[in-house]
Structure 1
Amino acid sequence: MITSYIGDLILTVEHVGSTSVEGLSAKPIIDLDVVIDNYDVLPSIIERLEKAGYEHEGNLGIEGREAFERTCDNDLMKHHLYVCPKDGKGYLEHVAFRDYLRENETARKEYETLKLKLAETYRHDVDSYCEKKTEFIRTILNKTIYRD
């Protein structure tokens, strides 16, 4: 487990993404946000995770998160690993969206319908699949953390 390598440097690990929402269709890929107090510990985390078989990929264009890719094959379930400061945009958005879907059955069903339609339409184009979900996600975030 990730915490055996970096547990002393982090605040918590949050299960986010579609697999974290009961009843929502999802690819068998877990999204994990490793939450840190601030970026001061990031160099140590990068070093330790590299020893554990992860490669630091930077923020991949998303403010407030650092992505890591598993570089060796093992028995772990496929997962996306992000290191995020507790007040980082990437982390706050992940949690707000997850919690909204957990609490709102109508939104959860709408999102599932959208995802299934997009998965069929963009079966071989993951970038377009992700891009086409953006408007729905933004709408939810505007109802939660970006309320006027």
Structure 2
Amino acid sequence: MNIALVNYDETWPSQFKKERDRLQLLIAPWMEGDIEHVGSTSVPGMIAKPIIDIMVGVNNLKDARGAIDVLSNNGYCYYPYKPEQMHWFCRPSPEFRTHHVHLIPYQSPLWFERINFRDILRTNAKVAGQYAHLKQTLAQTHRHNREIYTQQKWPFIEKVLASVSSS
């Protein structure tokens, strides 16, 4: 799937809420904590791949394995991407994605990392602008390689998170 960034869509928050409500019903037994809208679609005004990223808190990955079958039987495709950190799903198919769901241990370092970065982008226009520019550049350079596109964003994200933790 090629990387195609689009302008912010005012319907993304409502798309998230609709899917959050659906997920709460499907996987309540495995949930702990919150369901969060993360990624660029959660940042008003941010360009993004038009895919709603949803992070679901779970107690631990081993106990949450039962959610894999439930989500797989309800329109999600499971993929063991970074299985030591999360259970990862996309919907409706790997070729055409509208949603990503990440089951992540609640209040783990990865949980806080994603929340913190999202919140920085929501409140710091300068950082959000720099990130949008980086994303545009990477999308042009790595249009056909989603993994490299994602990896190349990481140094910027680390730098931003480090600057917040040191202040």
Structure 2 length-normalised TM: 0.74
- Identity among equivalent positions (%) equals 34
Name which of 75, 78, 100 aligns with 1:53: 75
The equivalent position to 1:102 in structure 2, one of 97, 106, 122, is 122
Q: 1:16 aligns with which of 22, 27, 38?
A: 38
C-alpha distance in 2 between matches for 1:141 and 1:63: 22
In 1, distance between residues paired with 2:61 and 2:47? 34
Return the match for 1:121 from 141, 147, 151.
141
Q: Partner residue of 2:86?
A: 65
Separation in structure 1 between the aligned mates of residue 148 and residue 133 of structure 2, nearest angstrom: 16
Q: What's 1:135 paired with?
A: 155
Instruction: Name the CA shift for 1:125/1:25 in 2 (closer, same or farther; >3 Å).
Output: same
When structure 1 is superposed on structure 2, of 13-22 and 127-136 the one drifting more is: 127-136
Q: Which runs of 5+ in 2 are unaligned?
A: 1-21
**8 Å CA contact 1:118, 1:132 repeated in 2:** yes
C-alpha deviations, 1:23-69, integer Å up to 9, x for none? 111111111001123346403222322221334323x2375322123
Q: Contact 1:64 / 1:91 at 8 angstroms: preserved in 2? A: no
1:118-145 Cα deviation digits (max 9, x unpaired): 1122222222222221110110121235
Note if 1:3 corresponds to 2:24. yes
Q: Over the residues paired in the alignment, what is the CA RMSD in angstroms?
A: 2.4
Q: 1:8 Cα deviation (Å)?
A: 4.1
Query: What's the CA shift for 1:7?
Result: 2.5
Amino acid at match of 1:24: M
Specify every segment of 5 or more residues in structure 1 that has no aligned partner in the other structure, as ranges.
Answer: none
What amino acid does structure 1 have at the position aligned with 2:99? Answer: H
Does the 8 A contact of 1:62 with 1:90 survive in 2? no
CA distance in 2, matches of 1:78, 1:128: 20
Q: What is the count of residue pairs matched by the alignment?
A: 143
- Asked whether the 8 Å contact 1:65–1:90 carries over to 2, the reply is no
